[in-house]
Structure 1
Amino acid sequence: MKIECTQERLSHAIQLVAKISTPKATLPILGNLLLTTKKGGLKISATDLEIGITTWIGAKIDQEGALTVPTRLLSEFISTNSDKNILLEGTENNLKLKSEHFNANIKGIEASEFPIIPEVKSDFTFSVPKTLLSEAISQTVFSTAMDDTRPVLTGVLFKVEKNLVKVVATDSFRLAEKTINLAKPTTEKAEFIIPAHTLQEVVRILPVAELNVEISVSSNQVLFNFGSGTELVTRLVDGEFPDYTQIIPQAKKTSVAVIKREVASAIKMASYFARESANNIKVVAGVGKGLQIVATSPQLGDNVSQVFAEIVGEEIEISFNAKYLLDALSIIEGEKVCFELNGKFSPAVLKPEKNKDYLYIIMPLRLEE
């Protein structure tokens, strides 16, 4: 292999794929990047066996070839190099790098040892604007389960039908649902679950993606094509997502409209006093009385905050996990948010005042009187 390319392009490409490379993995090859020349360009690939990321950059190819080299060392050398162009010459297990002021030799591993990143034989493909995809992931992925007792809850459900994509995550204590409206309706239905950590990688790459991201799905894998030669492949989570629609309240006894910044500040204040009681806080809503946020701790003391709110319906007192409320308030857009309450022990709905495409459901806490 013998190629020449700009330092800027090479550094950018390495940073794009390098994060999933795992130098401390059981397999040393997973700490390497695969460099492959083909069709007048350089392909750079990384994988952790669950996710595979590839990207292409333009380069002058004098001799084709392939080689893997340690991710960290290559990344550090290229990013620190201030020269405009870099020459790369590779053999089976050595990469020579030359530029105007810097030379280096990096020991590598044969390309044949690198795990194959699978090609997705798509059963279904659709396209989503990158801004909407980023928003949908950011507003749902935080609600996935942190442990793998129920693997399906560690991923995010994508439910595609006609011109709608519903993106849903739950850990069984709270649930977030974001609806994306597609410009071009699909002719098929599809449901699949993508691991949460994969979607965090997708969000990281989206800023450099083209305007629309193409998503291709097979029976056990999904491919994100970001355009400009960058792709991500991952395994889908195996299993059936629970029928979450059954827990979405169809009625409400109390509606609360409140300025997001003010209620978030009050809840955060209460959370300081709720640290010793598993973040449990009490919300009291009364017509003409506004919203009261209360936290009590035998060890620390107590706190009461009063927030102006527009309240319609019955007076209600209900307890929540403060962290779960703050998580949602931090990503809901708009000046005002609405709480829809249906009883002391019924799921509550939290959503933007004007945007109908997002809802967040939180289970109340059952506290001893």
Structure 2
Amino acid sequence: MKFEIKSSNLLKILKKIIKITLSNTTYEELSCFLLEIENDKIVLTASNGNLSMKTELEKNDEYLKIIKTGSVLINAKIMHDIFNKLEDEWFLFELKINNLIISNFKNNNNNDFIFKLSTMTIEKFPKITFDKEIENKVSFKKTLLQNINDQIAFAINTNNNSKPALTGINFKFSNKKLYITATDGYCLAKKTIPYLEEIKVDNKEFNIPVYLLNEIDKITNDLNKNVNFYFENNLNLIIEIDNYLFQTRMIEGIYPNTDDIIKNILEKEKTIVEINNVKDFLNIIELSIILSKKDTSPMIQFLINTRTNDFKINCLSNNDNIGEVIEQFKKFNFIKNKNIDEQIKVVFNSKLIIHAIKSFYKCKTISLSISWPKNYTIIQSEEEIGLLQLVLPIGEK
């Protein structure tokens, strides 16, 4: 194996590889990456056991020249640390017996480097397939991953061992749309996205661990290409962004039918309150819990009087020594009122209601649809079509 490469091109890939390999603390071979030299390209593959990544760099006289094919398994952190300290220049890679020799053979200054690195047995590295079945492809804008992180992921209970499916993000492809859902039983976040193009994939559903989607988003945060999904089989999913392929295992289990849950709540009698300034509304809620910062789970109570057109926000704390905060909110109006009660009292977990409102960070107005008699609250906005947040009340006080 022998090739020449500009260090900046290799370092760009190593910075992504290291984010995968460093999360492995069990198997030594997974702290390495597989470097394969072919006639017209080099292929780099890394895995931590849960998430695998593959990328290719084609031969080009400006940054990559291939002299001899071959393969090597090398420690990712050592390689990253070396090239992270070096200037951008040409380096020669050559495999001799069980050592990888790296030298800056074209160096024109006074600093000459030769690194002799021990390699690992390639057979110890897992055999990972990245089969892209074009007929099973569906594409979305890169912002999809960021939207999941900002608007959906908070609703997941990652410690729900009794229902593994609820520890991930649910993707449902149906009626030419993608439905993304997360729920922990107390709140539900749902986003609907139309396909970018006509595809054959439909009536398909799977669950992905949310932390893997977050890892992919962090690794590819400098890329702006579309996100392509390829359904390899019922267990694995291939995600493609630019020149990077990721393979992630799906979570087994049946996801609850959240469409029926939402439909049943929307059909109930309800009061719809339009919040005319989301930023101010959120500030008031966050201000109300300042005195209860030491409280592990402060609660927020909405006191709404439809007759007097009154909206108060109250922090309910388990600690009687911290005092009390009651805020009056005035930037709202009633769109529709079908609630038989003139006064509505509903209590939420402050963390959940704040996250739900923050997901509409681009919006100026939102609507709170408070159903009767259970006071389930659905949050939506005409400025963010397709996003829905459902927050269950803790109770009435």
Length-normalised TM-score, structure 2: 0.86
- Aligned partner of 1:327 in structure 2 is 355
Do structure 1's residue 110 and structure 2's residue 147 form an aligned pair? no
Do structure 1's residue 257 and structure 2's residue 274 form an aligned pair? yes
- The DSSP-based 3-state class of the residue aligned with 1:302 is coil
Match of 2:172 among 159, 171, 185: 159
Do structure 1's residue 222 and structure 2's residue 237 form an aligned pair? yes
Match of 1:74 among 79, 94, 105: 79
- Aligned partner of 1:140 in structure 2 is 152
Provide Cα deviations, 1:102-148, integer angstroms capped at 9, x if missing partner. 33222221222111123347473212222345424542122221214
Query: Compared with structure 1, are the counterparts of its residues 135 and 61 closer, same or farther at alpha carbon in structure 2 (3 Å cutoff)?
Result: same
State which drifts further: 78-87 or 152-161: 78-87
Query: Compared with structure 1, are the counterparts of its residues 93 and 142 closer, same or farther at alpha carbon in structure 2 (3 Å cutoff)?
Result: farther
Provide Cα deviations, 1:149-176, integer angstroms capped at 9, x if missing partner. 1210111111112421111111111111
Q: Partner letter of residue 354 of structure 1?
A: E
Shift of residue 356, structure 1, vs aligned partner: 2.3
RMSD: 2.2
What stretches of structure 1 of length at least 5 have no aligned partner?
none
- Aligned partner of 1:273 in structure 2 is 291
Written as runs of structure 1 = structure 2, the 5 A alignment for 1:193-342 is 193-209=207-223, 211-217=225-231, 218-228=233-243, 230-248=244-262, 249-251=265-267, 252-258=269-275, 259-275=277-293, 276=295, 278-287=297-306, 288-297=308-317, 298-308=320-330, 309-312=332-335, 313=337, 314=339, 315-332=343-360, 333-342=362-371
Provide the C-alpha distance between the structure 1 equivalents of 2:199 and 2:378, rounded to a whole number of angstroms.
30
- The DSSP-based 3-state class of the residue aligned with 1:15 is helix
Structure with the largest fraction of strand = 1
Q: Judge conservation of contact 1:140–1:169 (CA < 8 Å) in 2.
A: yes
Provide the C-alpha distance between the structure 2 equivalents of 1:63 and 1:214, rounded to a whole number of angstroms.
33
Provide the C-alpha distance between the structure 1 equivalents of 2:71 and 2:302, rounded to a whole number of angstroms.
61
Provide Cα deviations, 1:2-60, integer angstroms capped at 9, x if missing partner. 22112221111111222121476221111112211124222221111111011112321
- The DSSP-based 3-state class of the residue aligned with 1:225 is strand
- Aligned partner of 2:32 in structure 1 is 32
> Quick check: which has more Rg, 1 or 2?
2
Length-normalised TM-score, structure 1: 0.92
Q: Partner letter of residue 315 of structure 2?
A: A
- The DSSP-based 3-state class of the residue aligned with 1:80 is coil
State which drifts further: 122-131 or 298-307: 122-131
Query: Compared with structure 1, are the counterparts of its residues 118 and 290 closer, same or farther at alpha carbon in structure 2 (3 Å cutoff)?
Result: farther
- The DSSP-based 3-state class of the residue aligned with 1:20 is helix
Q: Judge conservation of contact 1:7–1:83 (CA < 8 Å) in 2.
A: yes
Match of 2:206 among 159, 167, 192: 192
Provide the C-alpha distance between the structure 2 equivalents of 1:108 and 1:142, rounded to a whole number of angstroms.
41
What stretches of structure 2 of length at least 5 have no aligned partner?
59-63
Aligned identity (percent) is 22
Provide the C-alpha distance between the structure 2 equivalents of 1:95 and 1:352, rounded to a whole number of angstroms.
57
Provide the C-alpha distance between the structure 1 equivalents of 2:301 and 2:73, rounded to a whole number of angstroms.
56
Provide the C-alpha distance between the structure 2 equivalents of 1:271 and 1:304, rounded to a whole number of angstroms.
10
Provide the C-alpha distance between the structure 2 equivalents of 1:139 and 1:110, rounded to a whole number of angstroms.
43
Aligned residues: 367
Q: Judge conservation of contact 2:158–2:168 (CA < 8 Å) in 1.
A: no
Q: Partner letter of residue 41 of structure 1?
A: K
Shift of residue 94, structure 1, vs aligned partner: 2.5
Provide the C-alpha distance between the structure 2 equivalents of 1:125 and 1:340, rounded to a whole number of angstroms.
37
- The DSSP-based 3-state class of the residue aligned with 2:273 is strand
Q: Partner letter of residue 88 of structure 2?
A: D
